[in-house]
């Protein structure tokens, strides 16, 4: 726990001249998720809300939720009001947290291997893989950009599948066959459904 905390304090206090590298940003987030997953106290049903707050804190320091939501909604984003965009970003953030961290929590930080990093101006790619046992591996690629002098993730590819592209196709299909309001209603229901089982996530 102390290792992850010290690493995050180092990154949080960094100035632009000593800004954390894209790989360091990913590494710290992965270590923090592992600490939450391994924390027995946070695993108790009574601590579900505290655990959710910890996950949200990590996610907000890692992801650029607004950019990811904008890219996922694509051309439908321009038709939305400021209030609609704010709600959509919130619902999208809740969805992404559960999907991404749900996958990541199944693995310890030690099983994540960082393969390489590429930086091109304000954009960067971090390539990594999770060792899954029996010589298996799950490739994860992070795409980041600079936001106010810090690196933030705007897309994640797991085994070649882009989160943004996948959600863009799903969201567009719902909007075209039904409506934007129907999409938002589905996301609201998903948020409520996912919140309810938190009491039973990790029974003692």
List of domains in the chain: 2-200 (3.10.450.710)
Name residue, tokens 């009491």. 199
HSE toward the beta carbon, residue 20, CA cutoff 13 A: 25
pLDDT in tens, 138-186: 899 999 999 988 999 999 999 999 999 999 999 999 999 999 999 999 9
pTM listed for this prediction: 0.81
| SS3 assignment, position 193 | helix
Judging by DSSP bridges, how do beta strands 123-133 and 161-162 pair with one another? unpaired
């Amino acid at each position: 726990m102390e290792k992850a905390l010290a690493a995050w304090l180092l990154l949080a206090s960094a100035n632009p001249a000593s800004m954390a590298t894209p790989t360091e940003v990913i590494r710290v987030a992965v270590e923090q998720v592992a600490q939450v997953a391994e924390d027995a106290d946070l695993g108790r049903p009574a601590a579900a809300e505290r655990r959710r707050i910890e996950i949200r804190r990590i996610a907000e320091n890692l992801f650029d939720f607004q950019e990811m939501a904008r890219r996922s909604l694509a051309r439908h984003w321009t038709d939305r009001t400021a209030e609609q965009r704010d709600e959509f970003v919130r619902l999208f953030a809740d969805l992404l947290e559960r999907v991404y961290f749900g996958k990541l929590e199944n693995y310890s930080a030690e099983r994540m291997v960082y393969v390489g990093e590429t930086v091109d101006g304000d954009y960067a790619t971090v390539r990594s893989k999770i060792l899954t046992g029996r010589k298996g591996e799950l490739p994860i690629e992070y795409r980041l950009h600079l936001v106010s002098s810090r690196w933030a993730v705007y897309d994640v590819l797991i085994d070649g599948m882009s989160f943004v592209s996948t959600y863009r196709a799903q969201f567009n299909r719902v909007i075209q066959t039904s409506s934007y309001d129907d999409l938002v209603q589905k996301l609201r229901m998903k948020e409520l459904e996912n919140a309810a089982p938190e009491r039973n996530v990790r029974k003692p």
